[in-house]
Structure 1
Amino acid sequence: MTSKRFKRNDLLFSLCGLNCSLCPMFIRGGCTGCREGSTCYMVCEFAPCSIEHGNIDYCFECGEYPCEKYDGVDLHDSLITHKNQLKDMEKAKTIGIENYRAEQRVKKEILDRLLNEYDNGRRDVFFCLAVNLMDVDDLKEVLDEADESTKDMDLAEKSDFMKDALNERAEMRNITLKLMH
């Protein structure tokens, strides 16, 4: 392996296309993202490749993208979904990383609201998954409907309502809100 060091400038959208800002481990402070010294870096097959290709920030910047490392990447999950990994990487490439980051900031704001207002202490992984996989407009509509419908509910009822509402909207879009292992 080369003596160059792996560096990341963006710790919220990974080199390979995972949305770290929407990962439960990252949110809980248990992961530092894919940078030198983190657990992700130590097991990541993309980090050494990044170094070999000039310390690129995102795989889509590589002339060999998408390479064999992406074969079957969306067939499994870790604590964060990999279902949209290629799709999100392509979106960032197409609309530009700044526009993609702006969209992710909106998703992070939505996730923060879900965690602060609707999480009963057991829904963080589910909410992270929903925000990762669902469209911003759908998420906003579900939140607006829930804000109105849950005014007189306790936290447990609000949490159940939100889970059902997100599942219902996801099903309308043929999205399954379950991690694959």
Structure 2
Amino acid sequence: MKFGTKRSPEVITAAMIAPCGMNCAICSGFLRDGKEKGVCPGCGGSDAGKPQSCVACRIKNCPEFAGIEHAGTGAAAVDQAFCFACAKYPCTRMKQLDKRYRTKYGMSMLENLENIRDLGLDEFVARERVRWTCTGCGGVICVHRQECVYCGQPRPGFAHHSEGR
């Protein structure tokens, strides 16, 4: 997979946070150059350019999701629907996804959702910008890679040592 122009942390926005807690701005589908398959717009965007696994995602397409509108109260209120607002949370699929990402990539979807619920979406996004910025070049770090795709600096916290996704 080829990666295009270096993305700055400003691409990490509230709109790029998926219902499952995935920060789509750190996904290889979003960070790729887009010449072969197009650039993924994140779970909230159209299906054009999305990896097939994201188009068919059982969490994004969950029938329970339609009944969830807003979540949280006070400073933690959010204008997006997240899985933590579902009566079935955490469902089996969420637990499986979380386990895969914790094991392979050193990132927890359930932890992300807890942070969104407890801190609010704006604070979560601010922390994600810091967490996923390469200290070597300032680009966005890809969750699916061991090192920065722009400068090669090793990624802190990468749990699995396999190539790619």
Normalised TM-score (structure 1): 0.53
Taking every aligned residue pair, what percent have the same amino acid on both sides? 21
Equivalence for 1:35 = 44
Q: Which of 26, 45, 54 is equivalent to 2:58?
A: 45
Task: For CA contacts below 8 A with separation 6 or more, give which structure has more relative contact order.
Answer: 2
Gaps of 5+ in 1: 1-8, 130-154
CA contact (8 A) 2:99 2:108 kept: no
Equivalence for 2:116 = 92
Which amino acid in structure 2 is aligned with residue 45 of structure 1? R
Runs of 4+ aligned structure 1 residues displaced above 4 Å come to none
Q: Give the distance between the partners of 1:71 and 1:109, measured in 2 at CA.
A: 27
Q: Classify the secondary structure of the residue corresponding to 2:145.
A: helix
Structure 1 or 2: more helix by fraction: 1
Shift of residue 91, structure 1, vs aligned partner: 1.7
Shift of residue 64, structure 1, vs aligned partner: 2.8
Shift of residue 82, structure 1, vs aligned partner: 7.3
**Superposition RMSD in Å:** 3.9
CA contact (8 A) 1:22 1:128 kept: no
Q: Give the distance between the partners of 2:136 and 2:42, measured in 1 at CA.
A: 18
Q: Give the distance between the partners of 1:73 and 1:26, measured in 2 at CA.
A: 19
> For the pair shown, which has the larger CA radius of gyration, 1 or 2?
1
Q: Give the distance between the partners of 1:54 and 1:17, measured in 2 at CA.
A: 15
Shift of residue 51, structure 1, vs aligned partner: 1.8
In structure 2, relative to structure 1, the CA distance for the partners of 1:15 and 1:128 (3 Å cut) is farther
Greater shift in the superposed pair: 29-38 or 93-102: 29-38
Equivalence for 2:145 = 125
Equivalence for 1:19 = 23
1:178 counterpart = 2:147 = no
Gaps of 5+ in 2: 1-12, 71-79
In structure 2, relative to structure 1, the CA distance for the partners of 1:46 and 1:82 (3 Å cut) is farther
What's the CA shift string for 1:2-57, capped at 9, x where partnerless?
xxxxxxx9432111011111112212253111136323652111223322434852
Q: Give the distance between the partners of 2:29 and 2:45, measured in 1 at CA.
A: 17
Normalised TM-score (structure 2): 0.57
Equivalences, count:
128
What's the CA shift string for 1:53-79, capped at 9, x where partnerless?
3485211122332123223223335xx
